[in-house]
Amino acid sequence: MRVFAALLLAASNAIAAIPTEITAEYSLINHGMEIGRVNESFRRKDDTYAIQSVTRSEGILKVLLDDAITLESTGRVASQGLVPLRFGQRRAKDSSRDIAATFDWDNGVMHSHFRGKDTDVPLPKDTQDRISMMYQFMNLSAPRNGEVVLAMANGRKVEHYTYRLVDEPRIKTPAGEFDTWHFRRVTSTPKESRAEVWLAKAHYNFPVRVVFDDPDGVRLEQVLLALQAR
How far apart (Å, rounded) are the C-alpha atoms in residues 167 and 207? 15
How far apart (Å, rounded) are the C-alpha atoms in residues 13 and 53? 27
Residue-wise pLDDT tens digits, 166-212: 999 999 999 999 999 999 999 989 889 999 999 999 999 999 999 99
Query: What dihedral do alpha carbons 229, 55, 36, 139 form, nearest 10°?
Result: 40
pLDDT, residue 7, reads 42
How far apart (Å, rounded) are the C-alpha atoms in residues 172 and 211? 15
Q: Is 70 left (phi over 0), alpha (psi -120 to 50) or beta?
A: beta
SS3 letters across the chain: CCCHHHHECCCCCHHHHCCCEEEEEEEEEECCEEEEEEEEEEEEECCEEEEEEEEEECHHHHHHCCCEEEEEEEEEEECCEEEEEEEEEEECCCHHHCEEEEEECCCCEEEEEECCEEEEEECCCCCEECCHHHHHHHHECCCCCCEEEEEEECCCCEEEEEEEEEECCEEEECCEEEEEEEEEECCCCCCCCEEEEEEECCCCCEEEEEEEECCCCCEEEEEEEEEEEC
pLDDT, residue 13, reads 46
- C-alpha distances out from residue 139 to 2, 86, 202, 228, Å: 16, 20, 13, 18
Flag whether pLDDT at 216 surpasses 90. no
Domain holding 114: CATH number? 2.50.20
Q: How confident is the model at residue 15 (pLDDT cuts 50, 70, 90)?
A: low
If one counts the domains in the chain, the total is: 1
pLDDT, residue 12, reads 34
Q: How large is the average pLDDT for residues 62-73?
A: 83
pLDDT, residue 14, reads 52
Q: How large is the average pLDDT for residues 63-77?
A: 88
- State percent of the chain over pLDDT 90: 75
Residue-wise pLDDT tens digits, 120-153: 999 999 999 999 999 999 987 655 558 888 899 9
155 CB-contact burial (10 Å; exposed 0-12 / middle 13-18 / buried 19+): buried
Q: Which domain holds residue 51?
A: 4-229
Q: How confident is the model at residue 67 (pLDDT cuts 50, 70, 90)?
A: confident
Q: Are 166 and 153 in contact (CB under 8 A)?
A: no
Q: How large is the average pLDDT for residues 3-31?
A: 69
Q: Could you tell me the pTM of the whole model? A: 0.89
